[in-house]
């Protein structure tokens, strides 16, 4: 890929961005990800769902002259003039191995699985780095109090990109600790859905077998008749 | 400050002006005849010139989008003489694909006594599962039953679904919900413990279970976390897409050749059984539609299974999600979940009027949106020329109370908030987007195929949904059939006596291409889309 200086061309509608320090001229309407592709990158690392759900394209950037570090997802963040950017597509974070069926949903489970939870300084570097704008510091504080439900709730929209862990001076892997909290909540603390278990018993007892057998044997005409005759549950 | 330019805001004023009236009236649902008419005239599947018949292989004559046909007819990455004598690794069950189906299969194969290797193209979890927002269907309320779910599925699919597959889908569904919750998935629930369930397009009962609008992400990260906890029995290899299946001299699946995506080196992984869970092909951009799919969705599994002789089906049918984002330009084509309509938001045209029942089956809803823009000229056209209609999201808070959107649709609020659009106050501009591959590799209810030792699960398969899938049945499909595949593959692996691995099928394939005079000039599977700029 030629840079603008090399080619001697200027295109007035383009803006300069610096991908890992190298200057490229790109259209100002593009996301960081599309700008990299426009510049000639065929992405393998640092690209996943392209929709803001998977956390593959965590990116850190700075604007020339501004010392502040910014964070975002490359697929969701529009380029700005003089943006210096680098992707962080992988972070070597600590992750514990555990058997969810053998745990109890209590504070000591968090502390024994991830002893570093208690080292959290409460500095908030994680919160500043989160591209989902989650209050990571608060969910870590909830974890330190042993409030698993709160930690699960506040961390729910986490996409596990790892930017929090990358910025943490206490070397926490907040997103791995948070998914333990969510799994403890989902398995042990969420109120039980009795109707689900009643339905499982009915299926196991064979309650619907005859009806399903009959449906499977119907021709299209009869299926269509029954389909049209369905009553629709009101909103 | 609104992220919408002035001319769009003028149209929004009209949407606001009709809101109080519309909230009391819902546009009537279409008759079966009305559905057929709008599909034939406006659904992309009916644009004959964008399809062609596959010219080689066991399903010769299968009509499919030209973009897909071209790569199905492609040439393999490796030759028949590729060295299989010294496998890079050996395992009982090889799972190809690290989405929800692959992860489910890995867990069940391990529980049934198999050593498992899971290879995946990008990172584990980079999959359409992660992006599914709306939810997962299961008939678990007293007002509902698996039989009613069955009728909804088969009617939505135009009565072409394979009955045994639909039966498996609806009967396993409540068990899958229990399984996911036991693994620690957090479902949306009411304080009394009942599941919070909504309608989806084409459902006659509320049976959409959700986890905010991160339903697929919540399933994926939970399954992935559990797979990682079983590292002694399940080896996960990332950035390692399969490029060719390997059979033995008796025609049984015995592993795959995978490529290290970062070094370009090919390796043979030998296995007693193979589960193909590679997902769909939205990144092929049929008819130049944008897509909701993840970066790696290039229909690899269809190509690989077909080359070893597994029949295909239903590939003349693709799903266009009715509501992809149509503005801002940066996120055109990304999914706006059907849950938005499930919660009561109506699609309305630029004049603020309804023109379709909000929850028709997806193909009918999508075709109706296209008709409103293309035929009737009632679409809002953005400055880049992209047409769209309004999805009136602020209605949700009038119906369900303030705060509902932030609670039920945080991903959507965040997505549009990044572009200064507040969907609690302003509607969303939407247009159909390529979403799902209805067809694929044919399978039986136990996920077996015509190739012994080859099992199929998820979007790569064809037949479960007939010619149109309903919302909430793909997260269900990947878990139902992923679990079945893991179980089937493990028990098959205990029994099978393998012969000598061979790539003889490639000689047959290459000869057939030559005899048919087919040379598309493409090495397939293509593995990744190429979005680098063309001068």
Measured between beta carbons, which residues in chain B are less than 8 angstroms from residue A53?
130-131, 214, 216-217, 411
- Contact check, Cβ <8 Å, B294/A38: no
Query: Which residues in A lie closer than 8 A to residue B197 (C-beta atoms)?
Result: none
Closest residue of chain A to B168, computed from CA coordinates: A212
Q: Identify the pLDDT of residue B468.
A: 94
> For every residue of B247-264, which 3-state class applies, written as one string?
EECCCCEEEEEEECCCCC
Cβ neighbours for B201, distance < 8 A, ≥ 6 positions apart: B156, B322, B338, B341, B359, B360, B361, B362, B365, B470, B471
State whether B189 and A190 contact (CB < 8 Å).
Answer: yes
Residue closest to A178 by CA, chosen among A161, A191, A195: A161
What is the least distance, in Å, from the CA of B286 to any CA of chain A?
18
Q: From residue B103, how far is each of B122, B283, B497 by CA, in Å?
A: 14, 22, 26
Distance in angstroms (rounded) separating the CA atoms of residues A185 and B140: 21
Q: DSSP state, A188?
A: I
Q: Among all residues of chain A, which has the CA nearest to that of B410?
A: A157
Residue B162's pLDDT is 98
What is the predicted pLDDT for the residue at A174?
A: 98
* Contact between chains at B532 and A37 (C-beta distance less than 8 A): yes
In sequence order, what E strands does B311-460 have?
312-313, 318-325, 347-348, 380-381, 387-391, 428-437, 440-442, 454-456
Partner-chain contact A185 B344, CB within 8 Å: no
- B434-to-A32, B64, B206, B256, B431 alpha-carbon distances in Å: 23, 15, 26, 29, 10
CATH superfamily of B89-125+134-317+438-507: FAD/NAD(P)-binding domain (3.50.50.60)
Q: Considering only the beta carbons, identify the residue of B147, B184, B531 that sits closest to A187.
A: B184
Contact B294 A51 (CB under 8 A): yes
Query: In angstroms, what separates the C-alpha of B421 from chain A's closest C-alpha?
Result: 14
Yes or no: say if B478 and B105 are a contact pair by the CB < 8 Å rule. no
Reported as a single tens digit per residue, the pLDDT across A118-167 is 999 999 999 999 999 999 999 999 999 999 999 999 999 999 999 999 99
- Inspect the interface and report whether the beta carbons of B334 and A196 lie closer than 8 Å: no
Rg (CA), chain A: 25
Q: Rounded to an integer, what distance in angstroms lies between the CA atom of residue B320 and that of residue B336?
A: 12
Q: Where, residue-wise, is CATH 1.10.1060.10 in chain A?
A: 100-189
Question: If you ran DSSP here, which 8-state letter would residue B383 be given?
Answer: T
For residue B91, the cross-strand partners are B271
Tokens of A125: 């570097």
A188 φ, ψ to 5°?
Answer: -110, -30
Q: DSSP code of B29?
A: P
Query: Which one-letter DSSP state was computed for residue B75?
Result: B
Q: Which of B295, B324, B327, B470 to mutate to test the interface with A (most CBs of A within 10 A)?
A: B295
Q: Is B285 considered catalytic here?
A: no
Q: What are phi and psi of A183, to 5 degrees?
A: -70, -35
pLDDT score of A6 more than 70: no
Q: What is the pLDDT of residue A8?
A: 45
pLDDT in tens, chain B (535 residues): 689 999 999 999 999 999 999 999 999 999 999 999 999 999 999 999 999 999 999 999 999 999 999 999 999 999 999 999 999 999 999 999 999 999 999 999 999 999 999 999 999 999 999 999 999 999 999 999 999 999 999 999 999 999 999 999 999 999 999 999 999 999 999 999 999 999 999 999 999 999 999 999 999 999 999 999 999 999 999 999 999 999 999 999 999 999 999 999 999 999 999 999 999 999 999 999 999 999 999 999 999 999 999 999 999 999 999 999 999 999 999 999 999 999 999 999 999 999 999 999 999 999 999 999 999 999 999 998 999 999 999 999 999 999 999 999 999 999 999 999 999 999 999 999 999 999 999 999 999 999 999 999 999 999 999 999 999 999 999 999 999 999 999 999 999 999 999 999 999 999 999 999 999 999 999 999 999 986 6
Retrieve residue B19's tokens: 């809101």
Burial class (CB in 10 A: 0-12, 13-18, 19+), B517: exposed
Cβ atoms B479, B215 nearer than 8 A: no
The CATH code for residues A100-189 is 1.10.1060.10
Residues 158 to 187 of A: which have CB under 8 A from any B CB? 159-160, 179, 182-187
| CATH level 3 topology of A4-87 | Ubiquitin-like (UB roll) (3.10.20)
Q: Select from B29, B163, B184 the residue whose CB has the most chain A CBs within 10 Å, as the one to mutate to test that interface.
A: B184
Find chain B residues with C-beta within 8 A of A34's C-beta.
Answer: 330, 531
3-state secondary structure B286-328: HHHCCECCCCCCCCHHHHHHHHCCCCEECCCCEEEEEEEECCC
Task: Tell me if chain B has a CB within 8 Å of the CB of A189.
Answer: no
Distance from CA of B288 to the nearest CA of A (A): 17
Give the residue on A whose Cα is nearest the Cα of B344: A235
Out of B307, B341, B371, B483, which one is annotated catalytic? B341
**Smallest Cα distance from A176 to chain B, Å:** 9
Cα distance from B352 to chain A (closest Cα, Å)? 22
The residues near B475 (Cβ < 8 Å, ≥ 6 apart) are: B100, B129, B132, B135, B136, B215, B216, B219
Residue environment code for B437-476, b if the CB has 16+ CB neighbours within 10 A, otherwise e? bbbbbbbbbbbbbbbbbbbbbbbbbbbbbbbbbbbbbbbb
> Which of A24, A38, A49 to mutate: most B Cβ within 10 Å?
A49
Asked if the C-beta of A56 comes within 8 angstroms of chain B's C-beta atoms, the answer is: yes
Neighbours of A149 (CB within 10 A): 15
B121 to chain A nearest CA, in Å? 9
pLDDT given for residue A235 in this prediction? 78
Multiple choice CATH, B6-30+321-433, 3.30.565.10, 3.50.50.60, 3.90.700.10, 3.30.1300.10: 3.90.700.10
Question: Scanning every residue of chain B, which has its alpha carbon at the shortest distance from the alpha carbon of A226?
Answer: B151
Residue ranges in B127-272 assigned as alpha helix (H): 128-131, 146-156, 163-182, 215-229
State whether B126 and A77 contact (CB < 8 Å): no
B221 vs A contacts (CB less than 8 Å): 160, 179
Minimum Cα–Cα distance from B169: chain A residue = A212
Q: Is the dihedral of CA A40, A44, A45, A46 positive or negative?
A: positive
Tokens of B398: 């009038």
Q: What's CA B470's distance to the chain center, in Å?
A: 11
> Mean per-residue pLDDT for A177-199?
98
Distances (CA, A) of B20 to B273, B347, B397: 59, 15, 13
Q: Exactly one of B22, B212, B321, B435 is catalytic; name it.
A: B321
- The helix (run of H) or strand (run of E) holding residue B52 is strand B51-53
Tell me whether residue B341 is one of the annotated catalytic residues.
Answer: yes
Q: Which tokens sit at A186?
A: 């989902």
Q: Report A:57-116 residues touching B (Cβ under 8 A).
A: 76-78, 95, 97-100
Rounded Cα gap, residues B148 and A164, in angstroms: 46
Burial class (CB in 10 A: 0-12, 13-18, 19+), B288: exposed
Nearest alpha carbon to residue B136 among B219, B202, B193: B219
A vs B, Cβ pairs < 8 A, gives: 217
Residue A107 confidence class, pLDDT cut points 50, 70, 90: very high
- Which H or E run includes B461? strand B461-462
* Of the partner residues B186, B217, B239, the one whose CB lies closest to the CB of residue A186: B186
Does residue A7 register a pLDDT over 70?
Answer: no
- Check A216 against B141: CB less than 8 A apart: no
Which chain B residue's Cα is nearest to A100?
B183
* Mutual angle of helices A194-204 and B163-182, in 10-degree steps: 140
Domain limits, CATH 3.10.20.30, in chain A: 4-87
């Amino acid at each position: 890929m030629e840079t603008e200086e090399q080619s001697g061309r200027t295109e007035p509608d383009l803006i300069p961005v610096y991908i890992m320090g190298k200057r490229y001229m790109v259209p100002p309407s593009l996301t960081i990800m599309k700008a990299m592709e426009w510049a000639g990158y065929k992405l393998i690392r640092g690209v996943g769902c392209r929709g803001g759900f998977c956390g593959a394209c965590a990116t850190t950037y700075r604007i020339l002259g501004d010392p502040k570090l910014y964070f975002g997802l490359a697929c969701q963040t529009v380029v700005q003039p003089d943006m210096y950017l680098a992707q962080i597509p992988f972070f070597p974070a600590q992750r514990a191995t555990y058997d969810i069926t053998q745990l109890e949903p209590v504070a000591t489970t968090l502390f024994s699985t991830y002893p570093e939870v208690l080292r959290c300084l409460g500095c908030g570097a994680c919160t500043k780095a989160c591209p989902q704008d989650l209050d990571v510091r608060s969910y870590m504080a909830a974890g330190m109090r042993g409030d698993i439900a709160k930690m699960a709730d506040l961390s729910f929209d986490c996409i596990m990109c790892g930017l929090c862990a990358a910025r943490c001076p206490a070397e926490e892997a907040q997103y791995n600790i948070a998914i333990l909290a969510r799994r403890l909540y989902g398995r042990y603390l969420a109120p039980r859905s009795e109707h689900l278990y009643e339905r499982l018993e009915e299926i196991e007892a064979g309650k619907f077998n005859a009806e399903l057998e009959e449906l499977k044997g119907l021709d299209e005409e009869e299926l269509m008749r029954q389909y049209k005759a369905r009553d629709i549950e009101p909103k | 400050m609104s992220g919408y330019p002035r001319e769009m805001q003028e149209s929004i004023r009209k949407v606001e002006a009709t809101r109080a009236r519309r909230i009391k009236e819902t546009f009537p649902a279409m008759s079966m005849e009305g559905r057929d008419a709008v599909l034939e005239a406006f659904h992309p599947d009916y644009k004959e010139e964008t399809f062609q018949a596959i010219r080689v292989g066991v399903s010769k004559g299968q009509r499919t989008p030209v973009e897909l046909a071209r790569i199905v007819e492609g040439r393999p990455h490796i030759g028949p003489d590729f060295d299989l004598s010294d496998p890079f690794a050996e395992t009982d069950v090889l799972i190809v694909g690290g989405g929800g189906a692959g992860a489910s299969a890995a867990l069940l194969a391990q529980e049934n006594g198999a050593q498992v290797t899971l290879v995946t193209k990008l990172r584990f979890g980079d999959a359409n599962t992660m992006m599914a927002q709306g939810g997962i269907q299961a008939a678990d309320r007293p007002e509902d039953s698996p039989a009613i779910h069955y009728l909804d599925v088969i009617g939505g699919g135009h009565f072409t679904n394979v009955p045994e597959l639909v039966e498996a889908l609806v009967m396993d569904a409540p068990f899958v919900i229990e399984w996911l919750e036991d693994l620690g998935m957090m479902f949306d629930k009411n304080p009394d413990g009942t599941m919070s369930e909504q309608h989806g397009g084409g459902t006659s009962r509320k049976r959409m279970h959700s986890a905010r609008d991160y339903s697929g992400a919540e399933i994926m990260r939970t399954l992935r976390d559990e797979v990682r906890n079983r590292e002694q029995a399940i080896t996960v290899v990332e950035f390692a897409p399969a490029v060719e299946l390997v059979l033995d001299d008796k025609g049984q699946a015995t592993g795959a050749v995978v490529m290290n995506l970062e070094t370009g080196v090919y390796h043979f992984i030998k296995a007693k059984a193979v589960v193909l869970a590679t997902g769909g092909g939205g990144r092929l951009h049929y008819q130049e539609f944008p897509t909701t799919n993840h970066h790696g969705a290039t229909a690899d599994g269809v190509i690989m299974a077909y080359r070893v002789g597994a029949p295909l089906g239903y590939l003349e049918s693709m799903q266009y999600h009715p509501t992809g984002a149509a503005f801002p330009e940066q996120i055109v084509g990304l999914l706006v979940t059907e849950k938005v309509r499930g919660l009561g938001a109506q699609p309305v045209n630029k004049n603020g009027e309804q023109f379709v029942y909000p929850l028709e089956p997806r193909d009918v809803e999508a075709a109706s949106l296209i008709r409103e823009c293309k035929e009737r000229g009632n679409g809002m056209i953005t400055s880049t020329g992209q047409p769209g209609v309004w999805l009136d999201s602020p209605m949700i808070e009038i119906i369900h109370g303030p705060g509902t959107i932030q609670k039920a649709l945080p991903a959507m609020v965040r997505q549009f908030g990044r572009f200064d659009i507040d969907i609690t106050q302003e509607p969303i501009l939407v247009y159909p987007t390529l979403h799902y591959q209805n067809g694929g590799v044919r399978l039986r209810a136990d996920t077996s195929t015509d190739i012994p030792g080859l099992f199929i699960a998820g979007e790569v398969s064809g037949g479960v949904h007939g010619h149109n899938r309903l919302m909430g049945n793909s997260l269900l499909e990947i878990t139902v059939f992923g679990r079945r595949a893991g179980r089937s593959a493990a028990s098959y692996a205990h029994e099978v006596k393998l012969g000598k691995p061979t790539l003889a099928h490639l000689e047959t394939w290459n000869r057939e291409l030559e005899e048919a005079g087919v040379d598309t000039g493409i090495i397939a599977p293509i593995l990744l889309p190429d979005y680098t700029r063309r001068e």
